């Protein structure tokens, strides 16, 4: 009995072994890794089979060779898209976990982060320090700055616009978040156009290094270059670091336990002495900070942003959250990765396979929304979610 009691108390977190903690932090990442490998292998196999089947249809190029040559680049693109959606999706899923509504303004929180990176680059450029600035320090400071601004913004929005309505019907709350999203877009537009940033802001960075050639695989008379450009690499690495931090925060710390408790049962959590309002503000802070950091990395990677860049990634990240099972943190990351892969493959291969009849980049959006609709109809609980029935 005593042994059992000890085991229980140990498992409750008072005396957890280092392996348990590491498992809690890296377990979800391992799951992401499996999904990355799985998506890459399955989608890669599908396009290769399609290329073999359609080989005779194109006279001008060898379809199989064309497919293979761009494959590594597509996978890098998939990873960047995947981590982008994963980071934004976490904000949706955490808010949904505790409050059960879609925070439409989250895409704009992300956009604000991107503008922070543009502003930071501009300030450095004006002071003349940009060229000599340490690239590593630049990325770290920009990400922290973006996370701080966006996190604060998300918490303030919750306080001003959502908390007064926590008891009203969900429809009303949803409409308020839509209003907030529009408001933020226009505020940023006004600020950007009034400052030297301009509507189409350029994100200036120090020299972040040249592209990294990972491998060169010979294929007939041509070679497949497996190249990853520095900005994509920064994006992927920084995302992984932040996901590790999030897993630590949510799964290991006392604060994380409180968040999980509130998500599970709000009244009971408050009876256990958890300050529910603080925890809700905290989820907005974490979600907003992650969204802002994603925005900074996005800005650094694409280098040109405008106040409306947040909308589409926001909606797609929501799709990712639903795909993974909304309210489930690991699910959001996995959903983001899977969606990123699907979208990048559609964007790259659709025009190749249809001889340019369908411009893939444009149909990628349609693919993302179709996935959302299909998932919601056939598996509304998502990839990692569990089936639940609606109770009264």
Partner 1 sequence: MATRTNPQTNTNQSLWEQLTSAMSRGITPYILLTAYAIVVPFLAITNLMADARPSLYGDILFVAMLGTFLLLHKAPVTKTYSYVVAGILLCVVLPYFGTFNQLYMDVMIQIGMFCVLTLGLNVVVGFAGLLDLGYIAFYAVGAYLWAIFSTNQAANILPAMAASFPLGPEWFIIFLPLALVIGAIFGVLLGLPVLRLRGDYLAIVTLGFGEVIRVLMTNLDRPINISNGAQGIKDIGQPPLFMNPLFSAVGFDFNRAQISQLHFYVMVLAVLAIMLLVVNRLNNSRIGRAWTAIREDETAAIAMGVPLVQMKLLAFVTGASFAGVMGMIFAAKLTFINPPTFDLIRSINILAMVILGGMGSIPGALLGATLVTLLNLQLLPRITAELEARVEGLPAALDPAQYQRMIFGLLLVLMTIFRPQGLLPEERRSGELHSDNAPILTQEGPEPVATADKPTTEDSDSTVKQAGG
Site for partner 1 in 14-53 (CB under 8 A): 16, 20, 23-24, 27
Q: Identify residues 373-392 at the interface with partner 1 (CB under 8 A).
A: 373, 376-377, 380-381, 384-386, 388, 390-392
Q: What is the DSSP string of 246-265?
A: HHHHHHTSHHHHHHHHHHH-
Rg of the chain on CA atoms, in Å: 22
Q: Identify residues 147-166 at the interface with partner 1 (CB under 8 A).
A: 161, 163-166
Encode 225-258: b = buried (16+ Cβ within 10 Å), e = exposed.
Answer: ebbbbbbbbbbbebbeebbeebbbebbbeeebbb
Size of the site for partner 1 (CB under 8 A): 92
- Judged by beta carbon, residue 71 or residue 259, the one nearer partner 1 is 259
Of the candidates 347, 235, 361, the one whose C-alpha atom is nearest the C-alpha of residue 301 is 235
In the bound complex, what is the minimum distance in angstroms from residue 33's beta carbon to partner 1?
18
Residue of 50, 125, 174, 226 interacting with partner 1 (CB under 8 A): 174
Q: How many CB atoms lie within 10 A of CB 355?
A: 14
Facing residues of 202 across strands? 304
Residue of 326, 333, 334, 339 interacting with partner 1 (CB under 8 A): 326
In the bound complex, what is the minimum distance in angstroms from residue 34's beta carbon to partner 1?
16
x/- track of binding to partner 1 for residues 275-294 (CB under 8 A): xxx-----------------
Confirm if 325 and 382 have CB atoms less than 8 A apart: yes
In the bound complex, what is the minimum distance in angstroms from residue 144's beta carbon to partner 1?
27
Confirm if 169 and 315 have CB atoms less than 8 A apart: no
In the bound complex, what is the minimum distance in angstroms from residue 302's beta carbon to partner 1?
20
Contacts of 66 (CB under 8 A, 6+ apart): 51, 352
Task: Report the alpha-carbon distance of residue 281 to residue 271 in Å, rounded.
Answer: 18
Stretch near partner 1 under the rule CB under 8 A, chosen from 122-130, 234-242, 284-292, 317-325: 317-325
Q: Can residue 172 be called a binding residue for partner 1 (CB under 8 A)?
A: yes
Q: Can residue 185 be called a binding residue for partner 1 (CB under 8 A)?
A: yes
- Judged by beta carbon, residue 2 or residue 132, the one nearer partner 1 is 2
Q: What is the DSSP string of 33-90?
A: HHHHHHHHHHHHHHHHHHHHHTGGG-SSS-HHHHHHHHHHHHHHHHHHHHHHHHHHHH
In the bound complex, what is the minimum distance in angstroms from residue 64's beta carbon to partner 1?
23
Q: Can residue 133 be called a binding residue for partner 1 (CB under 8 A)?
A: no
- Judged by beta carbon, residue 44 or residue 307, the one nearer partner 1 is 307
CA 190 to chain centroid, in Å, comes to: 27
Stretch near partner 1 under the rule CB under 8 A, chosen from 37-45, 83-91, 124-132, 186-194: 186-194
Q: Can residue 189 be called a binding residue for partner 1 (CB under 8 A)?
A: yes
């Amino acid at each position: 009995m005593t042994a059992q009691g000890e085991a229980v108390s140990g498992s409750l977190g008072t005396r957890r072994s280092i392996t348990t903690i590491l498992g809690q932090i890296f377990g979800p990442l391992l799951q992401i890794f499996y999904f990355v490998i799985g998506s890459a292998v399955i989608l890669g196999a599908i396009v290769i089979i399609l290329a073999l089947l359609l080989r005779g249809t194109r006279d001008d190029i060898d379809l199989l060779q064309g497919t293979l040559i761009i494959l590594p680049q597509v996978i890098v693109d998939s990873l960047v898209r995947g981590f982008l959606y994963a980071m934004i999706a976490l904000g949706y899923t955490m808010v949904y976990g505790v409050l059960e509504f879609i925070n439409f303004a989250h895409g704009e929180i992300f956009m604000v982060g991107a503008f922070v990176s543009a502003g930071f680059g501009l300030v450095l450029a004006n002071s003349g320090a940009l060229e000599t600035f340490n690239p590593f320090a630049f990325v770290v400071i920009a990400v922290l700055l973006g996370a701080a601004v966006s996190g604060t913004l998300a918490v303030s929005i919750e306080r001003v616009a959502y908390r007064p309505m926590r008891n009203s019907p969900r429809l009303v709350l949803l409409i308020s978040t839509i209003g907030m999203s529009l408001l933020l877009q226009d505020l940023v537009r006004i600020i950007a156009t009034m400052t030297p940033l301009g509507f189409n802001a350029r994100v200036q960075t120090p020299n972040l290094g040249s592209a990294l050639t990972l491998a060169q695989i010979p294929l007939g008379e041509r070679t497949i270059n497996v190249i990853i450009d520095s900005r994509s690499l920064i994006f992927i690495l920084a995302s992984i670091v932040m996901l590790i931090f999030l897993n630590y925060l949510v799964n290991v710390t006392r604060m994380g336990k409180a968040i999980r408790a509130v998500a599970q049962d709000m009244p009971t959590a408050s009876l256990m002495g958890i300050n529910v309002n603080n925890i809700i503000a905290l989820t907005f802070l974490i979600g907003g900070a992650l969204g802002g950091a994603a925005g900074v990395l996005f800005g650094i990677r694409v280098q040109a942003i405008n106040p409306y860049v947040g909308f589409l990634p926001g909606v797609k990240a929501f799709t990712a959250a639903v795909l993974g099972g909304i309210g489930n943190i690991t699910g959001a990351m996995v959903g983001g990765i899977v969606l990123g892969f699907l979208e990048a493959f559609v964007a790259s291969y659709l025009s190749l396979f249809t001889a340019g009849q369908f411009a893939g980049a444009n149909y990628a959006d349609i693919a993302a929304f179709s996935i959302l609709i299909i998932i919601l109809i056939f598996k509304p609980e998502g990839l990692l979610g569990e089936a639940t029935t609606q109770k009264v």
